[in-house]
Chain A
């Protein structure tokens, strides 16, 4: 009986091990090779996430067909029609449940992160469109950076919070940059522009799409346990990329480093920040989604080092 169960479960176990193995290999490889080609690294990290999902989908049809009792023609599932092996159905049930729950959760993650992210930010945190008075001349600086980057000027939103925060959302709808009064009043003009440059780089690099897609794939192929380390690693790389591109865009690498240090000093890591850090691209959100290998933001010291090292 055990042999039968092992044989029947083998494809699912193999898929889980293959997905996890691929992801772990890529993670280990990228940790060993310290490359700054963040775009290539993104593709390398994305591949095992997408590959895991494809493997999962490949073994699912006959299992779903059997579970839904619409006929399972493959040899593996012939055993299911034998009344003596009825318990086999529970293996299919587990796989079907895992895949359905994963897809529903992944749909929610992508919908909230990519499609509704901007609206969610504005609704939950009370952002409104910033007026020229609010920005006190910053708008010209932002427009200059956008022109240099060859991109449209995103909508700038402002929240009344006294905490210094800055986020961007470049998913569905108009891209937006989200500042707080606390940011404008506690950072210098150069630091604010450098922070906005970082967020503009996120928008230009389509990071909301990359991170939402990676989060969706991670959740959809939940059997790939190493995927839960791969997606935060991909997010960290997109932060490094936004640091590098943003510093070039604003021409203010020192101001960006200074802003990062100041934001780190202010970070409280409350629930709101955890939610924001998970769904949107922010300048600095320690504690958002975990620390170390699970953190979506790189360590402060390393970010500053990379920003300040000679090109």
Chain B
């Protein structure tokens, strides 16, 4: 389930919280920064910025695993525990979000959404506008 089915876009929220829950976003950031880790190490990393119970982190990681955003492997030695790692880079994640949100906008608002994006290109620099144009063409051709 990593094709963007989990995206619940909330434009008024900040950063990753636009598409994930607040805690999910915080845990995802930690997992990306760490690369891999078990629940306790991710909890320690997260606890530098916010007070959260280790069991809450375990529950959130389980949910992120269900969404296909993290992979996990059962570790050997000691009690059973998982090593969690991101199933996609932050860049791939952002690409998935943008693609999913834009496709949703095009499906619902069609030409209006396309026109707005073309107008927006006018206030961008030349290179960014060209990149946007290419992406839009790809989307319209269904190559996503």
Name A's B-contacting residues (CB within 8 A): 130, 133-138, 158, 160-164, 181-182, 184-187, 189, 192, 261-263, 265-266, 268
A263 CA / B59 CA spacing, docked (Å) = 10
Q: Which residues of B contact A262 (CB under 8 A)?
A: 53-55
* Interface residue from B40, B52, B59, B72 paired with A163 (Cβ < 8 Å): B59
Q: Which residues of A contact B1 (CB under 8 A)?
A: none
Q: Which residues of B contact A161 (CB under 8 A)?
A: 62
Which of A135, A162, A182 gathers the greatest number of chain B CB atoms within 10 Å? A162
A192 CA / B52 CA spacing, docked (Å) = 19
Q: How distant is B24 from chain A, measured CB to nearest CB, in Å? A: 12
Contact B53 A162 (CB under 8 A): no
Closest 9 CB pairs of A and B: A162-B62, A266-B55, A265-B53, A185-B81, A136-B79, A186-B58, A134-B80, A184-B79, A262-B55
Q: How distant is A127 from chain B, measured CB to nearest CB, in Å? A: 13
Q: How distant is B76 from chain A, measured CB to nearest CB, in Å? A: 7
Contact B56 A265 (CB under 8 A): yes
* Interface residue from B52, B58, B76, B79 paired with A162 (Cβ < 8 Å): B58
Q: Is B82 an interface residue (CB 8 A)?
A: yes
A-B contact pairs, 22 of them (CB 8 A): A136-B77, A158-B80, A162-B62, A162-B72, A163-B58, A163-B62, A181-B74, A181-B81, A182-B39, A182-B55, A182-B62, A184-B79, A184-B80, A184-B81, A185-B39, A185-B58, A185-B82, A186-B43, A186-B55, A186-B58, A187-B55, A265-B52
Chain B: residues with Cβ within 8 Å of the partner, total of 24
A60 CA / B58 CA spacing, docked (Å) = 53
Contact A266 B59 (CB under 8 A): yes
Q: Which residues of A contact B76 (CB under 8 A)?
A: 133
* Interface residue from A138, A158, A186, A187 paired with B57 (Cβ < 8 Å): A186
Known: A181-B74, A185-B38, A185-B40. A266 touches B79 (CB 8 A): no
Known: A186-B39, A186-B40. A181 touches B53 (CB 8 A): no
A130 CA / B81 CA spacing, docked (Å) = 13
Contact B78 A164 (CB under 8 A): no
Query: Which B residues from 45 to 97 make CB contacts under 8 A with A?
Result: 52-59, 61-62, 65, 72, 74, 76-82
